[in-house]
Each structure stands twice: as structure tokens, then as C-alpha cells.
Amino acid sequence: MTGFGRGAAGTELWQATVELSSVNRKQAEIVVQAPRELSELDARIRKQVLAVIARGRVQVSLNLEAKKTSDAAVRVDRSLAVAFENAFLELSKTIGRDVLPVASDYLRQPGLLAIGSEPVDPESAWAAIEPALADALVQLLAMRAREGEDLKNDFLNRLAQLDLYTRKIELEAPHRPIRQRELMTKRLRDAGLEIDISDERVVKELAIYADRCDITEEITRLDSHFAKFREYLDGTEPPGRALDFLCQELFREFNTIGSKANDATIAQTVVEAKTEIEKIREQVQNIE
């Protein structure tokens, strides 16, 4: 499901802005875009998003700004500076004469001097990021919920149409053995075989045919699936995967009816029903 959410929060040290955008995806996928210094917070962000998102590709964009800038634009790695000085003292002792470093030696030492702001402390930054992320998730879920209501109404309308197809098939099915008897009688007459319609062989053949084309079980299961589908739509848990399974079962039952009925009128209705199920299945892939 699609949606967007934006949240902002701050502490005495940091101002955080979080933007979330989601697009349709069958599985859950979280993509976090954040400063490299906050990479250790990636797992926390994913966990918080996955707690409320079961499907969809969600992109998390994080922006963090310091409220107070440091007076010192250049930072010194004190431990590295002391180690560098001690190395020259050790070198002097080794060769028996004083070897003193000059300023250029220190400047060439990688990491000894760093220019820029103070390093980001992930823990203090999280105090601003967490509420901003929570606000963004609230907005994202609200937008997805509105889309979900629209999809629910669409599903209910299509289920009503599938129910009409089922009732139509249910009315047509009992006439199938009668039409088969008429067809069998006509073929026998056309072949010059005058057989009494009450002949035991004819009755047995018609009984076997009636049993083979009976679709009572399929109709019962379809009604059960329709009821379950509506139940999932009204539930509080994410129904996406359950509805996906039900679509497969609905398709299977209509397909079986088409095979067993062996009737042009019923077959046409089955085709229309399967087309409607495919439309439902396409939308089911997008919901939570």
C-alpha cells in the first residue's frame, strides 16, 4: 500500500526530521537512508517500522542537524598525538641522538587532526529520532488506512458480484442432468437406436453423470470462503496474506465447477467469475 509520513522532533542537542514513503510490495522491505555516523541505529529503525508494517517497500529518509555548533572547528586526537610524540622519543633513544618532530610531521599524520563538527553520539541522537519516526509512522499508517478503506469497499462490491455468479450457477446446475438426458436421447435416435428412456442402462448412465457433475460441495465451500473473506476485511489483524490464500481457493472452486459442469452456460459464468477473482487478487497483493 502507498503512503507518506513526515515527523520532526528535537532535543537540546539535535533536531531530527524523518520522512517515510511506502509503495506496493508483496513482502516487507525497509530501506534506510541516514548519515553514516548513525549506521548503528539502522536495526532500531527497521524494528520500529516492521512493528507496524507487514507489507510494502518503505523508504526511511533521516536528516539530523546539531542545534549547537562547537566553537572549535578543529579536533585533536589526543591519544594519537601522545603516541606520535612517544614514537619520536623512542626513536631518539634507539639511535642515540635527539630526533624532534616538526609541525609538518604532525599535519601529515592521518587522523591526528580532524576538521568539522563534533562527532555524532547515536544514543543522544536517538532521543530526537525516535519521536520523529513515531510521528511519521502515525501519518503513514493514516494514509494507508484511507487507501485500505477504499480497497475494502471495492472488495465487498466484487464479492457481491461473485456471490451473484454463484447463485446463477446454483440455479443452472440442477438442469444439467435433464439436458444431458435429452441430448443422449437425441443422439440415440439420430443413430437409429430406439431405446426406452426408462431403460436401466440409460438410467444408470444418467445417474453416474448426475453424480459427476454435482457441484454442491463446491457451492458450499464458495459460500464459506465469501464469509471468511468478509470476516478478514472486518478484522483487526493485517489480512493481506490470508486474503491472498482465499483468492487461490476461490479460483480453485470455480475452476472445479467449470470442469465438472461441462455446460456452456455455466462455463461462461465461471469465466466471468475467474476474471473478477483476478481483479481482486491484483489488489490483494497491495494491502497490508
pLDDT digits (tens, 9 = 90+) for 31-53: 998 888 888 889 999 999 998 88
Tell me how many degrees the CA angle 244-215-260 measures, rounded to the nearest 5: 90
Mean pLDDT of 62-74: 70
pLDDT in tens, 141-198: 998 888 888 888 999 999 999 999 999 888 877 666 656 655 666 665 666 656 655 6
- Which pTM does this prediction carry? 0.60
Mean pLDDT of 268-278: 91
* CA–CA separation, 286 and 88 (whole Å): 66
Tell me the pLDDT of the chain averaged across its residues.
82
- The CA-based dihedral angle spanning residues 162, 168, 170, 173, taken in that order and rounded to the nearest 10 degrees: -130
Would you state the pLDDT for residue 29?
A: 87
Would you state the pLDDT for residue 236?
A: 77
In this prediction, what percent of the chain has a pLDDT beyond 70?
81
* CA–CA separation, 185 and 190 (whole Å): 9
Would you state the pLDDT for residue 59?
A: 92
Would you state the pLDDT for residue 199?
A: 59
Would you state the pLDDT for residue 185?
A: 61
Which amino acid appears at position 45 of this protein?
I
DSSP designation for 120: P
In this prediction, what percent of the chain has a pLDDT beyond 90?
27
Per-residue pLDDT band for 28 (boundaries 50, 70, 90) equals confident
Phi/psi zone of residue 111: left (φ > 0), alpha (ψ -120 to 50 degrees), beta? left
pLDDT of 73 > 80? The answer is no
User: Going by C-beta distance under 8 Å and a sequence separation of 6 or more, which residues neighbour residue 117?
Assistant: 66, 69, 70
- Joined together, the cell numbers standing for residue 287 give 494491502
151, containing H or E segment: helix 122-172
- What ranges make up the beta strands (E) of the chain? 3-10, 14-23, 28-33, 56-66, 74-76, 113-115
pLDDT of 17 > 90? The answer is yes
Residue 114 bridge partners (DSSP): 75
Q: Output 152-160 pairs: Cβ under 8 A, ≥24 positions apart.
A: 152/233, 154/283, 155/229, 155/233, 155/243, 155/280, 155/283, 156/230, 156/233, 158/276, 158/279, 158/280, 159/226, 159/229, 159/230, 159/280
Would you state the pLDDT for residue 194?
A: 63
* CA–CA separation, 141 and 1 (whole Å): 10
Spatial contact of 133 and 45, defined as CB atoms under 8 Å apart? yes
Higher pLDDT, 65 or 198: 65
Per-residue pLDDT band for 20 (boundaries 50, 70, 90) equals very high
pLDDT of 209 > 60? The answer is no
Higher pLDDT, 200 or 132: 132
pLDDT in tens, 231-258: 988 887 778 888 889 999 999 999 888 8
Lowest mean pLDDT among 60-69, 110-119, 272-281: 110-119
pLDDT in tens, 119-151: 678 888 899 999 999 999 999 999 888 888 888
* CA–CA separation, 114 and 79 (whole Å): 13
* CA–CA separation, 108 and 83 (whole Å): 15
- Joined together, the cell numbers standing for residue 29 give 522491505
Higher pLDDT, 264 or 221: 221
Reply yes or no on domain 3-69+121-142 having CATH 3.40.50.1970. no
Would you state the pLDDT for residue 54?
A: 81
Would you state the pLDDT for residue 109?
A: 77
pLDDT of 220 > 70? The answer is yes
Give the residue extent of every domain in the chain.
Answer: 3-69+121-142, 74-115, 143-284
